[in-house]
Amino acid sequence: MWQLVSALIRLYSENDATLASDALHSLIYGSNPPASIRISHLEEVEQGCIT
């Protein structure tokens, strides 16, 4: 699972995107969840909290 997190961070850095965006801005303008939410979801899946 760490490969997915690593690839996600690399994509964000190559696109000069911030990993921790403003929650309100993401809610209004974002078409996808911010990286921090994606990474935490991947970690929950890895721990078996989410199937």
Structure tokens at 21: 């965006």
Model pLDDT, residue 14 = 80
CA angle 25–23–15, rounded 5-degree value: 70
- Residue 31 phi/psi, 5° resolution? -95, -15
pLDDT in tens, 1-51: 788 889 888 887 887 666 666 778 777 887 777 888 888 888 898 888 775
How far apart CA 45 and CA 26 sit, in angstroms, is: 23
pTM for the full predicted model:
0.62
CA–chain centroid gap for 29, Å, is 16
Joined together, the tokens standing for residue 16 give 């000069």
